[in-house]
Amino acid sequence: MKPIQVGLLGIGTVGSGTFNVLKRNQEEITRRAGRSIQITMVADLDVERARAAVGEGVQVVNDARAVIANPEIDIVVELIGGYGIAKALVLEAIAAGKHVVTANKALLAVHGTEIFAAAQAKGVMVAFEAAVAGGIPIIKALREGLTANRIQWVAGIINGTTNFILSEMRDKGLDFEVVLKEAQRLGYAEADPTFDIEGVDAAHKATIMSAIAYGIPVQFDKAYVEGITKLGAADIKYAEQLGYRIKLLGITKRVEGGVELRVHPTLVPAKRLIANVEGAMNAVVVQGDAVGTTLYYGKGAGSEPTASAVIADLVDITRLHTADPLNRVPHLAFQPSELSDLPVLPMSEVVTSYYLRLRVADKAGVLAQVTGILAGLGISIDAVLQREADEVAGEGAAQTDLIILTHDTREGTMNDALAQMQALPTVLAPIARIRKEELA
Amino acid sequence: MKPIQVGLLGIGTVGSGTFNVLKRNQEEITRRAGRSIQITMVADLDVERARAAVGEGVQVVNDARAVIANPEIDIVVELIGGYGIAKALVLEAIAAGKHVVTANKALLAVHGTEIFAAAQAKGVMVAFEAAVAGGIPIIKALREGLTANRIQWVAGIINGTTNFILSEMRDKGLDFEVVLKEAQRLGYAEADPTFDIEGVDAAHKATIMSAIAYGIPVQFDKAYVEGITKLGAADIKYAEQLGYRIKLLGITKRVEGGVELRVHPTLVPAKRLIANVEGAMNAVVVQGDAVGTTLYYGKGAGSEPTASAVIADLVDITRLHTADPLNRVPHLAFQPSELSDLPVLPMSEVVTSYYLRLRVADKAGVLAQVTGILAGLGISIDAVLQREADEVAGEGAAQTDLIILTHDTREGTMNDALAQMQALPTVLAPIARIRKEELA
Measured CA to CA, the distance from residue A99 to residue A219 in angstroms comes to 24
Q: A136 and B294 in contact by Cβ < 8 A?
A: yes
Listing DSSP states for B335-356 in one string gives -GGG---PPBPPGGG-EEEEEE
For chain A positions 309-328, those within 8 Å of chain B (CB to CB) are: 309-312, 315-316, 319-320, 322-324, 326-328
| Residue A329 distance to chain B (closest CA, Å) | 8
Rg of chain B (C-alpha set): 24
Of the listed B87, B98, B122, B205, which one is catalytic?
Answer: B205
The answer to whether the annotation marks A75 as part of a ligand binding site is no
Contact with chain A for residue B78, Cβ under 8 A: no
Over residues A125-153, mean pLDDT: 98
Residues of chain B with CATH 3.40.50.720: 4-137+303-338
Residue B114's H or E segment, with its range, is helix B105-122
| Residue B304 distance to chain A (closest CA, Å) | 5
pLDDT for residue B16: 97
As to burial, measured by CB atoms within 10 angstroms (0-12 exposed, 13-18 middle, 19+ buried), residue A296 is: buried
Contact with chain A for residue B64, Cβ under 8 A: no
Hey, what amino acid is at A392?
A: V
DSSP conformational letter for B362: -
Considering only the beta carbons, identify the residue of B31, B135, B140 that sits closest to A294: B135
pLDDT digits (tens, 9 = 90+) for B292-346: 999 999 999 999 999 999 999 999 999 999 888 888 999 999 999 999 999 999 9
CA-CA-CA-CA torsion sign (A191, A196, A200, A201): positive
* SS3 (DSSP) at A221: helix
Q: Which residues contact B141 (CB under 8 A, 6 or more apart)?
A: A137, A140, A141, A145, B286, B294, B296
Q: B290 and A308 in contact by Cβ < 8 A?
A: yes
Q: What is the CATH number that goes with domain B350-436?
A: 3.30.70.260
Is the Cβ–Cβ distance between A75 and A33 less than 8 Å?
Answer: no
Residues of chain A with CATH 3.30.70.260: 351-436
Is the Cβ–Cβ distance between A424 and A418 less than 8 Å?
Answer: no
pLDDT for residue B387: 76
Q: Please state the φ and ψ torsions of residue A103, each to the nearest 5 degrees.
A: -105, 15
Over residues A80-100, mean pLDDT: 97
Q: Which residues contact A13 (CB under 8 A, 6 or more apart)?
A: A302, A303, A306
Residues of chain A with CATH 3.30.360.10: 138-299
Contact with chain B for residue A32, Cβ under 8 A: yes
Hey, what amino acid is at A93?
A: A
How many angstroms separate the most distant Cα atoms in chain A?
82
* SS3 (DSSP) at A288: strand
pLDDT digits (tens, 9 = 90+) for A144-186: 999 999 999 999 999 999 999 999 999 999 999 999 999 999 9
**Over 60: is that where the pLDDT of A396 sits?**
no
pLDDT digits (tens, 9 = 90+) for A25-49: 999 999 999 999 999 999 999 999 9
Measured CA to CA, the distance from residue A91 to residue A112 in angstroms comes to 11
pLDDT for residue B6: 98
The answer to whether the annotation marks A16 as part of a ligand binding site is yes
How many Cα atoms sit within 13 Å of B136 on the Cβ side? 28
Measured CA to CA, the distance from residue A172 to residue A94 in angstroms comes to 49
pLDDT for residue A398: 83
pLDDT for residue B322: 87
Q: In what order do the strands lie in the sheet with A37-43?
A: A59-61, A37-43, A4-9, A75-78, A99-102, A126-127
Measured CA to CA, the distance from residue B251 to residue B158 in angstroms comes to 10
| Residue B138 distance to chain A (closest CA, Å) | 9
Hey, what amino acid is at A330?
A: P
Superfamily for the A4-135+303-338 domain: NAD(P)-binding Rossmann-like Domain (3.40.50.720)
Of residues B165, B148, B162, the one with CA closest to residue B202: B162
Rg of chain A (C-alpha set): 24
Q: What is the CATH number that goes with domain B4-137+303-338?
A: 3.40.50.720
Q: Which residues contact A339 (CB under 8 A, 6 or more apart)?
A: A215, A216, A217, A332
The answer to whether the annotation marks A173 as part of a ligand binding site is no
Residues in chain B: 440
Measured CA to CA, the distance from residue B382 to residue A75 in angstroms comes to 51
Residues of chain B with CATH 3.30.70.260: 350-436
* Helices within A25-104 (DSSP H only): 26-33, 47-54, 64-69, 85-95
pLDDT for residue A394: 55
Q: A292 and B335 in contact by Cβ < 8 A?
A: no
Residue A420's H or E segment, with its range, is helix A411-422
List beta partners, residue A111.
Answer: none
Higher-confidence residue of A393 and A342: namely: A342
Is the Cβ–Cβ distance between A234 and A170 less than 8 Å?
Answer: no
Our measurement of the distance from residue B20's CA atom to the centroid of its chain's CA atoms, rounded to an integer in Å, reads 26
In chain B, residues with a C-beta closer than 8 Å to the C-beta of A167 are none
A 10 A CB-CB count for B373 gives 18
pLDDT for residue B389: 62
Contact with chain B for residue A71, Cβ under 8 A: no
pLDDT digits (tens, 9 = 90+) for A233-290: 999 999 999 999 999 999 999 999 999 999 999 999 999 999 999 999 999 999 999 9
Name the CATH architecture for the domain at A351-436.
2-Layer Sandwich (3.30)
Measured CA to CA, the distance from residue B301 to residue B201 in angstroms comes to 12
CA-CA-CA-CA torsion sign (A57, A63, A66, A67): positive
Over residues A324-336, mean pLDDT: 93
Of residues B402, B308, B406, B301, the one with CA closest to residue B359: B402
- A363 annotated active-site: no
Q: Which residues contact A137 (CB under 8 A, 6 or more apart)?
A: A129, A296, A309, A312, B140, B141, B144, B145, B146, B294
* Whole-Å CA distances, B112 to A437, B131, B210, B219, B319: 44, 12, 12, 9, 23
Q: Please state the φ and ψ torsions of residue A175, each to the nearest 5 degrees.
A: -85, 160
List beta partners, residue B255.
Answer: B258
Query: Which of 3.20.20.80, 2.30.30.790, 3.40.190.10, 3.30.360.10 is the CATH number of A138-299?
Result: 3.30.360.10
Hey, what amino acid is at A373?
A: I
Considering only the beta carbons, identify the residue of A29, A140, A338 that sits closest to B144: A140
Is the Cβ–Cβ distance between B115 and B141 less than 8 Å?
Answer: no
Higher-confidence residue of A386 and B302: namely: B302
Q: Please state the φ and ψ torsions of residue A251, each to the nearest 5 degrees.
A: -125, 135
* SS3 (DSSP) at B38: strand
Q: Please state the φ and ψ torsions of residue B301, each to the nearest 5 degrees.
A: -160, -175
- Cα–Cα–Cα angle for B205, A295, A286, nearest 5°? 120
Mutate to test the interface with A, among B28, B306, B338 (most CBs of A within 10 A): B28
Is the Cβ–Cβ distance between A146 and B308 less than 8 Å?
Answer: yes
Residues of chain B with pLDDT under 50: none
* Whole-Å CA distances, B181 to B164, B191, B233, B277, B278: 12, 9, 16, 22, 18
Q: How many CB pairs under 8 A join A and B?
A: 224
Measured CA to CA, the distance from residue A4 to residue A16 in angstroms comes to 18
Considering only the beta carbons, identify the residue of A25, A294, A330 that sits closest to B148: A25
Of residues B230, B222, B193, B440, the one with CA closest to residue B347: B222
Contact with chain A for residue B148, Cβ under 8 A: yes
Of residues B312, B317, B299, B303, the one with CA closest to residue B135: B299
Over residues A118-145, mean pLDDT: 98
pLDDT for residue B396: 56
How many Cα atoms sit within 13 Å of A347 on the Cβ side? 13
List beta partners, residue B286.
Answer: B154, B294
Contact with chain A for residue B144, Cβ under 8 A: yes
- Within A56-177, strands assigned E span 59-61, 75-78, 99-102, 126-127, 151-157
Measured CA to CA, the distance from residue B68 to residue B142 in angstroms comes to 30
